[in-house]
Amino acid sequence: MAANHLLYISGGARSGKSRYAEQRALALAGPRSYIATCPIIDDEMATRIDRHRQRRDGQGWHTIEEPQDLTAALQTTRDSRVVLVDCITLWINNLLYAAETELNTIDEGAIQALTLQMIDAARQGERTVIFVSNELGMGIVPAETLSRHYRDLVGRCNQTLAAHADEAVFMVSGLPLTLK
Amino acid sequence: MAANHLLYISGGARSGKSRYAEQRALALAGPRSYIATCPIIDDEMATRIDRHRQRRDGQGWHTIEEPQDLTAALQTTRDSRVVLVDCITLWINNLLYAAETELNTIDEGAIQALTLQMIDAARQGERTVIFVSNELGMGIVPAETLSRHYRDLVGRCNQTLAAHADEAVFMVSGLPLTLK
Amino acid sequence: MAANHLLYISGGARSGKSRYAEQRALALAGPRSYIATCPIIDDEMATRIDRHRQRRDGQGWHTIEEPQDLTAALQTTRDSRVVLVDCITLWINNLLYAAETELNTIDEGAIQALTLQMIDAARQGERTVIFVSNELGMGIVPAETLSRHYRDLVGRCNQTLAAHADEAVFMVSGLPLTLK
C-alpha cells in the first residue's frame, strides 16, 4: 500500500465517475476532504451539485469550494487520508473564464504548468488523492474555436494526470475500465 | 450457461453495436425476436433501418416494432430463446418526444423506474436478452438544455442496464471491450 | 515478429494518438516514412502540424504530404520499415470536400472500397504500417446531415481498418487500451 496514491478517473458525462470516486474514497479510513471546483452559476448546476452533496451527507466529508487554486486546496488538505477533486473539467472552465475576463489567455503550456504544480502538491502527505475528469474529445469536432480550445486544454491536462497517476480508470456506462 | 442472461452492448455511432449484437444472437439456437424501438420518421432513418433489416433477412427473426412500451414487448417475447432490443437511445428519444407532446416531463427518476421495470420483464423466461445502447456523453457539452437532458437520461439508463447485466460490452471501432 | 504488421490506433481528440504512434514507430529500426493527410488550410491547423513536425525533427523521418491517394502513398513507401499514416479522419474529410467540389458523392460503399484498396497496399512489403484515426461518434448526434454523414464514413472506415489490423489500440487520456 503506497503511502501516497494518485487515482485518476475519467469518463463521459453521466458515466458514474463521481459515484465511483466516492465509493473508492469511502472504502478508505480516516479524514476525507472534498474539493469542489464548481461555482454555482445556474439552477441546473445547483441541482446537480445538490444531488452530489446529498450523497456525501453524513459520511464525514470536509468540503472545500475552490474554483481555481487547486494547488492551494491540495496543500490545505494535507492531513486528510483521502482527497477527492471533482472535477478537473470545471477547473479548466473556470480558468478559461477568468482569463477571458482579465484579457489574459490560457494555453496548453499554462495548463501543463498548473497541472504539474497541482500534482506536486498532491504528492505531499500520506494520502490518496482522486482526480475526476471528463472525456470531451470523442464526438464530432466542435465548430467553435473556443470549444476546440477548451477540449484541447482538458485533453492535455488529462494526459498529464493519467501519466503521473499510480492508477487510472475510464468509466463507461457506470463500469470502470482499467487504463493502468 | 445461465438460463436467463442479460447482455448490455454500448458504443458510439457506427461502432458496430448492431452487427455485434446480431452475431451474438445468431450464435444462439432457438426462436429469435427483434424489438425495434425506431419509428421511421425520415428517409435517412428509413435507409438505416433497411440496411439493418437486410442483415436479418432469412435468419428467422420475428420482428416487433415498439417505440415506447418495452416492458410489454419483453413480456410478449418470453418464449424466444434470444431477444434483441435495438436500441435504448431511440426508446428514450421516443419517450421524450411523447412527453413533450403531452406536456408531461420525463426526468431521471421516471427513466430509472421504467428501466427497472423493463429489466424485471427481461428476467422472465429462459432466454438471452440483448440491450443495445449508445454512448452520448464523451463529446463537448451540448449547448442546448434538451440535448443535455437527453444525454443525462440515456447515461442514467445505461448505468442501470450495465449494473444489472450479466455481461457488458463497449464497442470501439467494431471491436468489443469487455466492461464486465 | 510478423514481416508485415498493421497497427490501428484510434481515440478522441487530444488523446495522445499521434504521440503514441510515433513512439511505436521510433521503437522500430530502419527507414521511416510519415504520410501526412493534412492539407494546411488555416493558422490553427498550421500550428498543430508544426507541433507534430517538431516532434519528428531529427528522427530521420521521410515525410510525404498526400491528402487523398493513400494507396499510392503506401505503394511509394514500400521500402520503409515503418510507415505512419496520420490521420484517417482528415483523409476522409479531404475526400468529402473534393467530392462536393466536383459534384460527386462519397458514400459508405465508396469509402469501404478505398479502405480495402489501401489495406491491400499496406500489406505489401516487410514493414509495419500504423494507421491513426479518431473516434467521432460518442457525443450527442450532430444536427447537421453532413456531420452525421462524415461521422458514419469515418466509423465505417475505422471498423474495416480495425477488423483487418493485427493490433488495435484505443487511446484514452494518453494511455493505450488494447482492442485486439
What is the 3 state secondary structure string of chain B?
A: CCCCEEEEEEECCCCCHHHHHHHHHHCCCCCEEEEECCCCCCHHHHHHHHHHHHHHCCCCEEEEECCCCHHHHHHHCCCCCEEEEECHHHHHHHHHHHHHHCCCCCCHHHHHHHHHHHHHHHCCCCCEEEEECCCCCCCCCCCCHHHHHHHHHHHHHHHHHHHHCCEEEEEECCEEEECC
- Cβ distance C173 to A152 less than 8 Å, yes or no, reads no
- Cβ distance B137 to A175 less than 8 Å, yes or no, reads no
Mean pLDDT to the nearest integer, B6-29: 96
- Cβ distance C135 to B173 less than 8 Å, yes or no, reads yes
Catalytic residue among B5, B52, B62, B149: B52
Comparing B55 with A119, the larger pLDDT belongs to A119
Residue C14: half-sphere exposure toward Cβ, Cα within 13 Å: 25
Q: Are C83 and C74 in contact (CB under 8 A)?
A: yes
DSSP 3-state of A101: helix
pLDDT band, residue B105 (cuts 50/70/90): confident
Is the omega angle on the peptide bond into residue C87 within 30 degrees of 0, that is, cis?
yes
Q: Is A75 annotated as a binding residue?
A: no
Q: Are A33 and A62 in contact (CB under 8 A)?
A: yes
Spell out which residues of chain A touch residue B177, defining contact as CB-CB under 8 Å.
Answer: 172, 177
Low-confidence ranges of chain C (pLDDT < 70): 1-2, 40, 57, 103-104
Q: Are A124 and A78 in contact (CB under 8 A)?
A: yes
pLDDT in tens, A15-49: 999 999 999 999 999 999 999 998 766 777 778 77
Q: Are B35 and B7 in contact (CB under 8 A)?
A: no
pLDDT band, residue B71 (cuts 50/70/90): very high
pLDDT at B104 over 90: no
A135 touches chain B (CB under 8 A): yes
* C21 C-beta neighbours (distance < 10 Å), count: 23
Neighbouring chains to C with at least 3 Cβ pairs closer than 8 Å: A, B
pLDDT at B45 over 90: no
Residue to test with chain A: of C50, C171, C172, most A Cβ within 10 A: C172
Amino acid at the residue B131: F
Average model confidence (pLDDT) for chain B? 92
- Taking CA–CA distances from A177, the nearest residue in chain C reads C177
| Long-range Cβ contacts of B41-50 (<8 Å, 24+ apart) | B44/C145, B44/C148
* C107 C-beta neighbours (distance < 10 Å), count: 12
- Taking CA–CA distances from B161, the nearest residue in chain A reads A173
Distance from CA of C139 to the nearest CA of B (A): 4
The β-bridge relationship of strands A167-172 and B5-11 is unpaired
Cα separations in angstroms, C26 against A49, B100, C53, C61, C67: 46, 56, 14, 10, 24
Spell out which residues of chain C touch residue B177, defining contact as CB-CB under 8 Å.
Answer: 170, 177, 179
Q: Are B10 and B178 in contact (CB under 8 A)?
A: no
Cα torsion through B96, B22, C11, A179, rounded to 10: 100
Supply the pLDDT for residue A52: 72
In chain C, domain spans: 5-178
Q: Which of A10, A141, A148 sits opposite C173 (nearest CB)?
A: A10
Reply yes or no on whether B52 is catalytic. Answer: yes
Spell out which residues of chain A touch residue B151, defining contact as CB-CB under 8 Å.
Answer: 13-14
Cα separations in angstroms, B144 against B91, C38, C143: 20, 32, 11
ipTM score of the complex? 0.92
Supply the pLDDT for residue C120: 98
Residue to test with chain A: of B6, B148, B157, B159, most A Cβ within 10 A: B159
Q: Are B166 and B11 in contact (CB under 8 A)?
A: no
For domain C5-178, the CATH architecture is 3-Layer(aba) Sandwich (3.40)
- Cβ distance C138 to B142 less than 8 Å, yes or no, reads no
pLDDT band, residue B33 (cuts 50/70/90): very high
pLDDT at B23 over 90: yes
Which are the contacts of A18, defined by CB distance < 8 A and separation ≥ 6?
A: A52, A55, A86, A87, A132
Mean pLDDT to the nearest integer, B107-134: 97
The CA distance from B129 to B120, in Å, is: 11
- Cβ distance A177 to B180 less than 8 Å, yes or no, reads no
Q: What are phi and psi of C89, to 5 degrees?
A: -60, -45
Task: Extract the annotated binding site of B for GTP.
Answer: 11-18, 53-56, 65, 86
pLDDT at B143 over 80: yes
Local structure of residue C140 (DSSP, 8 states) = S
The 10 Å CB-count burial string (b at 16+, else e) for A123-142 is: eebebbbbbbbbbbbbbbbb
C173 touches chain A (CB under 8 A): yes
First and final C-alpha spacing in chain C: 16
Among C34, C26, C4, residue whose Cα is nearest residue C131 = C34
B111 touches chain A (CB under 8 A): no
pLDDT band, residue A50 (cuts 50/70/90): confident
Supply the pLDDT for residue C57: 66
Of B8-22, B125-139, C86-100, give the lowest mean pLDDT range. C86-100
pLDDT band, residue B49 (cuts 50/70/90): confident
Distance from CA of A130 to the nearest CA of C (A): 15
Supply the pLDDT for residue C74: 98
The CA distance from C60 to C58, in Å, is: 6
Q: Are C134 and C176 in contact (CB under 8 A)?
A: no
Cα separations in angstroms, C132 against A115, B166, C21, C162: 27, 34, 7, 11
C134 touches chain B (CB under 8 A): no
Residue to test with chain C: of B15, B146, B173, most C Cβ within 10 A: B173
Supply the pLDDT for residue A40: 67
DSSP 3-state of C17: helix
Cα separations in angstroms, A27 against A24, A33, A56: 5, 14, 13
The CA distance from B163 to B154, in Å, is: 14
Spell out which residues of chain C touch residue B15, defining contact as CB-CB under 8 Å.
Answer: 137, 155, 159
Cα separations in angstroms, B103 against A20, B83, B97, C78, C152: 35, 33, 10, 64, 34
pLDDT in tens, A82-103: 999 999 999 999 999 888 777 6
